[in-house]
């Protein structure tokens, strides 16, 4: 079965600084990887996906993610964090037709 | 808006009662998925449909859980004889086709007393 791991429950970063939210994956075959964000009292919002092609994937709200096959990682990044980026972030992998999610990383951007 | 909608948003019920949770997917989306999310965890797959056909129900925890999508649009997740351990956020998602990204609704928070 496919799986993803998010090693950090919590990430704190100062506003204006770059942010990274880590994700590693374990798959058989080609990975199809996703990032979602969950704001309080709202549904999961799709940020970006990697299917094939360029290792650097650009998504919504200025986020990007870097696919690294040798390290089996798919870290989420943003060059300059905003306070409004504070939310719960989930990495996911497609496993058949369903998504298998990581446990989530709470990102807090401090003003 | 044209997003995925779910109702009710909150449901409190007593142990032993049946509940029905509704999902209205994005118009034109073929695939519909149900997930369950415990507090502090990522969503876990329950079941999914293509059109009206239930393609995979391997994530349903036991036979008290069932889902249907009779006309290939709105779906209902039913939990019979609810138990306290059923308390969770139930999320629905839809996608244009099977391999497209999934768009999630706001969820139904179920509390079983």
Express each pLDDT in A74-83 by its tens digit: 999 999 999 9
pLDDT averages per 10-residue partition of chain A, 111 residues: 93 97 92 92 89 91 95 96 96 89 96 94
Q: Residue range B80-97: average pLDDT? A: 96
A44 touches chain B (CB under 8 A): yes
From B4, B40, B45, residue closest to A98, measured CB to CB: B45
For CA atoms A6, A59, A54, A30, the dihedral sign is positive
SS3 track for chain B: CCCCEEECCEEEECCCCCEEEEEECCCCCCEEEEEEECCCCCCEEEEEEECCEEEECCCCCCCCEEEECCCCCCEEEEECCCCHHHCEEEEEEEECCCCCCCEECCCEEEEEC
pLDDT above 90 covers a percentage of chain B that reads 91
Q: pLDDT digits over B22-52, tens only?
A: 999 999 999 999 999 998 889 999 999 999 9
Strand partners, B24: B5
Could you tell me the two tokens for B18? 């049946």
pLDDT of residue B1: 54
Q: Which residues from B are below 8 Å from A102, CB to CB?
A: 42
Q: Any idea which residue has 């056909």 for tokens?
A: B53
Q: pLDDT digits over B59-77, tens only?
A: 999 999 999 999 999 999 9
| CB of B13 closer than 8 Å to CB of B19 | yes
Could you tell me the two tokens for A102? 């990581």
Q: Which residues from B are below 8 Å from A100, CB to CB?
A: 45
**Average pLDDT taken over every residue of chain B:** 95
Beta strands at A3-5 and B31-37: parallel, antiparallel or unpaired: unpaired
pLDDT of residue A3: 92
> Cβ contact (<8 Å) for B56 and A98?
yes
Q: How far is CA A41 from the centre of its chain?
A: 20
Nearest to A93 by CA among A43, A50, A38: A50
From A94, A97, A99, residue closest to B56, measured CB to CB: A97
Residues 26-85 of B with CB under 8 A from A: 31, 33, 35, 40-45, 48, 55-56, 59
Compute the distance between CA of residue A108 and CA of residue A106 in angstroms, rounded to an integer: 6
Q: State which residue of chain A sits closest to B105, comparing Cα positions.
A: A43
| CB of B102 closer than 8 Å to CB of B94 | yes
Compute the distance between CA of residue B71 and CA of residue B88 in angstroms, rounded to an integer: 27
Could you tell me the two tokens for A69? 């096959």
Beta strand segments in chain A, E: 3-5, 10-14, 19-21, 24-26, 33-38, 44-50, 56-58, 64-68, 73-78, 87-95, 98-101, 105-110
From B42, B55, B103, residue closest to A104, measured CB to CB: B42
């Amino acid at each position: 079965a496919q799986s993803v791991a998010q090693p950090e429950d919590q990430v704190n970063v100062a506003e204006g600084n770059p942010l990274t939210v880590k994700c590693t994956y374990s798959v058989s075959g080609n990975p199809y990887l996703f990032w979602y964000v969950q704001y309080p009292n709202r549904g999961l919002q799709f940020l970006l996906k990697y299917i094939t092609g360029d290792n650097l994937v650009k998504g919504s709200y200025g986020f990007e993610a870097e696919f690294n096959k040798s390290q089996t990682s798919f870290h989420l990044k943003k060059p300059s964090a905003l306070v409004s980026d504070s939310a719960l972030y989930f990495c996911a992998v497609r496993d058949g037709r369903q998504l298998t999610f990581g446990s989530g990383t709470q990102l807090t951007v401090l003003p | 808006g044209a997003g995925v909608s779910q109702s009710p948003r909150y449901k409190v019920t007593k142990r032993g009662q049946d509940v029905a949770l509704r999902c209205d997917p994005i118009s034109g989306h073929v695939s519909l998925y149900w997930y369950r999310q415990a507090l502090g965890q990522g969503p876990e797959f329950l079941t999914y449909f293509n059109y009206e056909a239930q393609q995979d129900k391997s994530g349903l925890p036991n036979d008290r859980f069932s889902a249907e999508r009779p006309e290939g649009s709105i779906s209902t997740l039913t939990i019979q004889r609810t138990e306290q351990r059923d308390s969770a956020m139930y999320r629905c998602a839809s996608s244009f086709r099977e391999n497209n990204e999934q768009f999630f609704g706001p969820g139904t928070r179920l509390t079983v007393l």
